[in-house]
A and B are shown apart, each in its own frame.
Chain A
Amino acid sequence: MEMTRRDLFTIGGKLLVLASVGATLEQIVGAEPAPDAYKMADHWWGMIIDIDKCIGCGNCVRACSKENKVPGGYFRTWVERYQVAEGKQPKVESPDGAMEGFPPLTDENIKSFFVPKLCNHCADSPCTQVCPVGATFISPDGVVLVDPDYCLGCRYCVQACPYGCRYLHPETNTVDKCTLCYHRITQGLTTACCENCPTQARQLVDFKDPKDPVHEFLRHNMVQVLKPYMATNAKVYYKNLDGSVR
C-alpha cells in the first residue's frame, strides 16, 4: 500500500492524541502519591542559628563536607570567628572554613564569638534572578537549588550572591552550594550540619509547620538576618547577631 503525505499526517495526529490521552489518564488515576509522601507545598524551610551556642568546633563543616562530598577548598557551610575590639575593625578568621575548628584566642579580653554561615535560601534570591537559563531556582518548599545538568557554569550567580555561598565545582564545572541537605530533609531527616552540632546552635526549621519550635523562637528572641539591607528575604535567622558581622 502506498502511503500519501496526507495519510502520514493523519496517522501521526491520531498517535499524538492517543499519547496525550494516555499521559493524562496516568496522571489522573495512576500517579496517586502515598499518603505519607513528601509534599513540597506543605513546607517552607529555613534555619535558626544561636550565636551564643556555637563553640566553633567545626563539626558542622566536617559533616557537611562528608555528607555532600564537598571538594577540598570549597564550602557549603563554614564558621567564622569574630574578634571585636572597641573602635576597631573586627578581626575575622575562618581557617579552612573551620574544618578543624579554631586555634586558641591570643587575647582573652576581647569580644569574641563564632558565626556559622551557609546559603540563606533567600525567598527573593539575587542568585536565582540572574541565572540566564534558570538552572538555579527556589523550590516550592523554599530551598535554593542548582540543576547540575542544566547549569552553564557562567558563574553570574556566584557574583550575585551577597554572602559568598556559591562556588564552581572543580569536577562538574557547574555551580555548587548548600542544598539544605535536600536529599535528607525530604526524607524527614534534618541536615547533616544540624545533626552533628553538639550544642544545637543550628536548627533546621519549617516555617509552614505550625508545631515547629521556630515560631516560639521567633516570638521570644531578638533575631537578625545577614545583610538585611540586601532585601533578599533570607531564611537563616541568627539570634544575638552582633552588628559587626558581615
Chain B
Amino acid sequence: MIPGVDGFMYPNEVELQWSLLIVLYPYITGLVAGAFILASLERVFKVDAVRPTYRLALLTALSFLLVAPLPLQLHLGHPERSFEMYLTPHTASAMAMFGFVYLWYLTVVLLLEIWLEFRAEIVYLAQTTKGLRRVIYRALTLGSMNVSPEARRLDDKVGYIVTVIGIPSAFMLHGYVGFIFGSIKANPWWSTPLMPIVFLFSAMVSGIAAVLLLYVASMKVKKMAVDMRCVDTIAKYLFYTFCIDFTLEMLDLVHRTYESDESFRSLDFMVHTRLFFSQVVLQIFLGTLVPLCLLAANQLWRFTEKARRAMYVTACSLTMIGIFAMRWNVVIGGQLFSKSFLGYTTYKMAFATREGLLPAIALMLLPFAIFFVLVYLLPPWQEPEHVSAPAGD
C-alpha cells in the first residue's frame, strides 16, 4: 500500500508532475488578460465610467505579466535550457508558442500602450525632476521629447490601434493557456474544447475583480474618494462576465454528467472526495455563487454607497479566491486520479523547496511589489493638467 494512494495508480503516476507553481501560471496570466480587457473597455468601447481605472488596469496587467514566466522557469527541470523554446521551437507543441505569445503581448501590446499613455507625463517628469529620477524618466522617453498636440494626437491614434490589436492578443494569451490543458486527450479532466473559453472568461472575471480591489485599496491608501460610478460600472461588467463564465463551467459539468463516459465515475468520485473542499466549497459556493448573488443584488436593488463598496470588495475578494481554486482544481485535480480510472493519489505540497509554498507566496507578492514601483514611477491616479490633451478629447 503506497501512502496517499487509494486504489490503483500506474506506478509512475503516484507523484504529481505539475505543482502549485503551475497553478500560479494560469492564475497570473488570467489576471493580466482580465485587467487588460477591462482597460480596453474605456479605450476601445468608450465606457467613460471606468476611466479612473484605465491606467491602473494597464499597470496591474504589466506587474503580473512580468512575473508570469517565473513560475514556469522555477518549475523546469532545466531552466537554463528554456531559451531553446525560442531558438528551436517544436511547432506541433502547444507549449512551444508560449514564449512568442508572451513576448508579443509584453512588447507589442502592453509596454507600447503604457508608454504611449504615459508619454506626455514621462516627458514632463524628465524635464522637471532631478538626480536619478531624471535619468530614469529621460531613459523612459526613449529620446522622444515631442509632446505637441500633433504628437499627442498621433500617440492617441497609435494607442487606439495597439488596444484594438491588444484585445485579440489578450484573448489569445489566455485562451492559449486553456488550450495547453484542453488539448491533452490523455486527461479527460482537461480535454475539452471548452477549456480555452472557460479559461478566458475566468481570466476576465479575476482580472476585473483584481483591478476593482486594487482601485479601492489605492484610493484608501491615497485617502482619495472612490468614484462610485466607476466601481458600479466595473461591478456590472464583472457580473455579466461572471454569468458567462459560470454558465460555461456549468455547461461543461452538465455535459460531462449527461455523457457519463468511462472517466465520469472516477472524476465524480474525485469531486465528491479529494476535491470537495476546493471545488464545491471554495470554487463553486464561496468563489462563485456568493459573489454572483452579491453582484446580482446590486443589479436588482439600490444600496447605500458604503454597503455597495463593502459588497463589491467582498464579492471581488471571494472571486479571487474562487478563481484561484478553479486553477488549482484544473491543474492539481487533473493529476489526482489515475489515467487507469482506478485510483487516486495525493498532492504533497512542500514548503521551502523550489516548487513549494514559500516560492509560490513570494511569486504572488512580487507583482504587488512591481505594481508599487510602477505606480511610484508612473502615478496613474489623475491625468496631469500640464499635459496638453490630444485634440478631440
B183 / chain A contacts, CB cutoff of 8 Å: 130
B12 at the interface (CB under 8 A from A): yes
B12 / chain A contacts, CB cutoff of 8 Å: 74-75, 158, 164-167
- Which residue on B lies nearest to A96, using beta carbons? B11
A73: min CB distance to chain B, Å: 8
The interface bits of chain A over 73-111 (1 if a CB of B lies within 8 angstroms of the residue's CB, else 0) are 111001010000000011111101100000000000000
Contact A126 B185, beta carbon cutoff 8 Å: yes
Q: Is the interface of A mostly helix, strand, loop or mixed?
A: loop
B92 at the interface (CB under 8 A from A): yes
Q: Max chain A CB contacts within 10 Å: which of B11, B85, B335?
A: B11
Contact A131 B187, beta carbon cutoff 8 Å: no
A246 / chain B contacts, CB cutoff of 8 Å: 339-342
A175 and B12 CA atoms in complex are apart in Å by 12
A57 at the interface (CB under 8 A from B): no
A117 at the interface (CB under 8 A from B): yes
B184 / chain A contacts, CB cutoff of 8 Å: 126, 130, 159-160
A18 / chain B contacts, CB cutoff of 8 Å: none
B95 / chain A contacts, CB cutoff of 8 Å: 130, 132, 154, 156
The number of residues on chain A lying at the interface, defined by a beta carbon within 8 Å of a beta carbon of chain B, is 45
8 Å CB contact of A160 from B77, B89, B186: B186
- Which residue on A lies nearest to B335, using beta carbons? A159
The number of residues on chain B lying at the interface, defined by a beta carbon within 8 Å of a beta carbon of chain A, is 42
A151 and B78 CA atoms in complex are apart in Å by 8
Contact A152 B339, beta carbon cutoff 8 Å: no
A72: min CB distance to chain B, Å: 11
Give the residues from 162 to 205 in chain A that come closer than 8 angstroms, CB to CB, to chain B: 162-168, 172-175
B335 / chain A contacts, CB cutoff of 8 Å: 159
A98: min CB distance to chain B, Å: 9
A165 / chain B contacts, CB cutoff of 8 Å: 10, 12
**Contact A94:B11 (CB < 8 A) given known A131-B90, A132-B95:** yes
Contact B89 A130, beta carbon cutoff 8 Å: no
- Which residue on A lies nearest to B8, using beta carbons? A92
Contact B93 A97, beta carbon cutoff 8 Å: no
Contact A158 B339, beta carbon cutoff 8 Å: no
B255 at the interface (CB under 8 A from A): no
A164 / chain B contacts, CB cutoff of 8 Å: 9-13, 338-340
A80: min CB distance to chain B, Å: 8
B386 at the interface (CB under 8 A from A): no
Contact B17 A152, beta carbon cutoff 8 Å: no
Contact B11 A129, beta carbon cutoff 8 Å: no
A239 and B76 CA atoms in complex are apart in Å by 39
A224: min CB distance to chain B, Å: 16
8 Å CB contact of B82 from A78, A97, A152: A152
A80 and B339 CA atoms in complex are apart in Å by 14
A172 and B75 CA atoms in complex are apart in Å by 14
Contact A162 B186, beta carbon cutoff 8 Å: yes
Contact A230 B18, beta carbon cutoff 8 Å: no
**Contact A152:B92 (CB < 8 A) given known A174-B78, A230-B186:** no
A150 and B335 CA atoms in complex are apart in Å by 25
A134 / chain B contacts, CB cutoff of 8 Å: 88, 90, 93
B162 at the interface (CB under 8 A from A): no
A174 and B77 CA atoms in complex are apart in Å by 6
8 Å CB contact of A163 from B10, B82, B185: B10
A173 and B11 CA atoms in complex are apart in Å by 18
Give the residues from 142 to 161 in chain B that come closer than 8 angstroms, CB to CB, to chain A: none
Question: Which residue numbers of A lie inside 8 Å of B, CB to CB?
Answer: 73-75, 78, 80, 89-94, 96-97, 117, 126, 129-134, 150-156, 158-168, 172-175, 230, 246
Q: Which 10 A-B pairs give the minimum distances between C-beta atoms? A: A153-B77, A164-B10, A173-B77, A162-B186, A134-B90, A132-B96, A246-B340, A92-B8, A132-B95, A155-B17
17 contacts between A and B (CB under 8 A): A75-B11, A94-B10, A94-B11, A129-B92, A130-B183, A132-B89, A133-B89, A134-B88, A134-B93, A152-B77, A154-B95, A155-B18, A156-B93, A156-B95, A165-B12, A174-B78, A175-B77
